[in-house]
Amino acid sequence: MLRRAWLLFLPSLLFGMNGLAAGSSLEDFRSSESIHGLYEIDQAARAFVAAENARSNAGWTVAEPNLKTLVARCSVALDSRWGEIHLSAADGRALTRKVVEVICTKPVSGKHWTVSLRVSRAS
């Protein structure tokens, strides 16, 4: 129980916010000097999906990034592309799922990073 409470409190320490209280939105997760905001990552993914939908007349929607994601601030413009994640079914079958990858090739510290966001077809 204590561990779970700590995990909920950790984002507020890292992002300097009031935690994940009811009513907080992705807009609260903006970039700082050292951390790249989930809001900006989400916006890059949404712009990519909108352009892809317009180009191919598709109906993809993108999920919000996982609020536990923490990456270094990017010093260059973010890039986005289609990607796949590989999963294993309970029966041992290998599964793949299409995602949008938001990529930073030059963070202010550390190695390059990629954040994968789930996509689905709009019904």
pLDDT digits over 105-123, tens only? 999 999 999 999 999 997 6
Q: What percent of the chain has pLDDT over 70?
A: 80
- Phi, psi values for residue 40, rounded to 5°: -65, -35
Look up residue 20 and give its two tokens: 């994940």
Q: How far apart are the first and last CA of the chain?
A: 38
pLDDT, averaged across the chain: 84
Q: Using CB atoms within 10 A of its CB, is residue 98 exposed (0-12), middle (13-18) or buried (19+)?
A: middle
Q: What is the pTM of this model?
A: 0.75
